[in-house]
Chain A
Amino acid sequence: MELLKDKKPISHLFVITGLLLLFSTLIFGTIGAFQYVFPGLYRESFSFEKIRPLHVSSAVFWILITACGSVLHYLIKKRNGLWSNKLAQWQWFLFTIAVVVILITYVLGIFGGREYWEFHPYLAIPIIIAWILFLINVIKTIKDFRKQPVYIWMWLTGTVFFLFTYLESYLWLIPYFRSNIVHDMTIQWKSYGSMVGCWNMLIYGCSIYLMDKISGSEKYSYSGISFALYFLGLFNLMFNWGHHIYTLPAPKYIQYVSYGVSMTELLLLGRIIYYWKSSVNTARKLYHILSYRFLLAADLWIFLTLLLAIAMSIPAINIYTHGTHITVAHTMGATIGINTFLLLAFVCNIFKIHKPKTEKRITAGLYITLVALPIFWISLIIAGVLKSNWQMHLSNEVPFSAMMQSIHPFFVVFLISGIILTIGFFVIIGNLLAAYFMKTQEN
């Protein structure tokens, strides 16, 4: 709690906690990949049903806590302080306690067992309270809602809808909502699909704020096009989640709604291609060079991920990708290539990293991840394609274990590239934290 006492903005605490969670994400991800390659590794003591939630929950909380920290930080900048620092401190405290307890319960084998939020439902309570504190702080700090830039709208809607979708994901506790597996899964994935859209609202909002800073112009964040794209994003957040459950025997209209809505994402894709070149030309902003590089890296991955996502939103293609490692490629591609890179851009900016030596090392780390990530991604996609072929044509003759054996070489590539990716991120995290604490001492 030392950090709470001095004059540093509270957002720093969120970011440091986030970076530690990114570290644990990588450690547990690597152990999980080892278990793919060496079947039965730690089967008795630390098997995959513990490792997977340790990895995935660390990842989710890295994203959530750092996104909240970034929003708070930029609100402080924009409004010369928060409505209440106390509230933000409590939010951080509740989040951190909850996450620590969650990770410990996984190690002990205590689960609630719902995907992504695999902890006991009781542990959702501090998270919900923390989120309500966050919501109050965001609303009170913004205060005046007239003529606001688009990122303020994004932070507000992201925060409000997150609370809704998070509560929705616990409806299964009411017997009515869990008594039919198909209905239960429909509501579950409806809430998850929208929830991811909500944290993306927070993160994309921050990146628009940061791009304003880098380019030195606020024109974009007040423009009609930015609001049009924001509403398009919100529309997709609300209605395009159906691709998670196309293959379930749920009512057909869910398929049609989601398929139709997803196709509007093509507009986003078109815009990215169109603006790609002009964004590259602003490379002159040397002062923000690190953040700028992470933003560019994310831009590339937004393009790749959107391409895959749009393909997967077409039901006739989805039946080939669903239930295979293509889904994992998509999820990790998005959470690493988009979310993690963008969040790291914010961290570089929040920590004000400008020392040439640190800049150089972090850039080296980024390049390592940029080489490893495509290999990591493609190895999962190939494993997924082969599994898909088995699912569609061979599952009656070839046993599951033989199929897994046949795609083993791609898991080896997945593991090796995953280790390199981990090393790249370690270089980045290590240098960020070292530079930060060095600066703190100098001051």
Chain B
Amino acid sequence: MSDRVKVMTLIVLAVSFLCYTLFLYKENYSSNAEYGTMADKGKRLWQEKNCNACHQIYGLGGYLGPDLTNVYSNRSEAYIKHFLQNGTNIMPAFHLTEQQMNEMLAYFKSIDSSGNASPAKLKPNYDGTIER
């Protein structure tokens, strides 16, 4: 392989990568938690408390606790608040204020509305792809 072929290959790859990247950037599938809203603050809180170390959203995160993508539609607000206030034998009590708990609930509500995270809801095809 001459240097020229190598450089050309590299350029072709890099340009396709950049195009794919820009294409993905512009695909913001209708935002549901605008900047500064309750849900956005809840997201920041979720990150600042590092809830993700034990919980997953859409299956991604740490694995000591359950996935919480759809906790908002599976459980009542009172139930969720109870966990946030008291923790469990594994989860620490985070002593969130009423305001913070409402922000967290708004965040749960917004991620819940984005789709269902249960892999059981997906249908595998014979060609190896999956169907919603």
Contact = CB atoms under 8 A, between A and B. Distances in A.
B34 interface: yes
Interface residues of A, number: 77
Contact of A179 (B28, B50, B89): B28
A246 B66 CA distance: 19
B117 A247 contact: yes
Contacts of B43: 178
Contacts of A189: 60
B26 to A, nearest CB: 10
Contact of B3 (A113, A146, A247, A323): A146
A355 interface: no
B127 to A, nearest CB: 8
Interface in A51-106: 52-53
A328 B116 CA distance: 23
Contact of A391 (B17, B61, B118): B118
Contacts, number: 191
Nearest to B130: A315
B58 to A, nearest CB: 5
Nearest to A383: B63
B92 A180 contact: no
Interface stretch (B5-13, B77-85, B98-106): B5-13
Contact of B119 (A171, A176, A177, A323): A323
Contacts of A316: 124-125, 128-130
A147 B87 CA distance: 61
Contact of B90 (A39, A175, A224): A39
Contacts of B58: 181-182, 185, 245, 247-248, 323
Contacts of A50: 50, 53
A234 B129 contact: no
Interface stretch (A1-9, A249-257, A283-291): A249-257
Contact of A323 (B13, B51, B52, B56): B56
Interface string B52-76: 1110111111111111000000000
A387 B61 CA distance: 15
16 contacts: A43-B92, A49-B51, A52-B54, A111-B48, A113-B47, A115-B52, A115-B60, A177-B28, A183-B27, A224-B1, A234-B10, A259-B129, A315-B128, A319-B122, A322-B119, A323-B119
Interface of B: 1, 3, 6, 9-10, 13, 16-17, 20-21, 24-25, 27-36, 40, 43, 46-54, 56-67, 87, 89-92, 110-111, 114-120, 122, 124-125, 128-130, 132
Given A36-B64, A115-B52, A254-B24, 19 more contacts: A43-B89, A43-B90, A47-B90, A49-B54, A50-B53, A53-B50, A111-B48, A157-B10, A177-B25, A179-B28, A179-B31, A179-B34, A179-B35, A180-B28, A185-B58, A249-B115, A255-B130, A395-B118, A400-B65
Interface of A: 35-36, 39-40, 43-44, 47-50, 52-53, 111-115, 118, 146-147, 153, 157, 168, 171, 175-183, 185-187, 189-190, 224, 227-228, 231, 234-235, 238-239, 244-251, 254-257, 259, 314-320, 322-325, 328, 387, 391-393, 395, 400
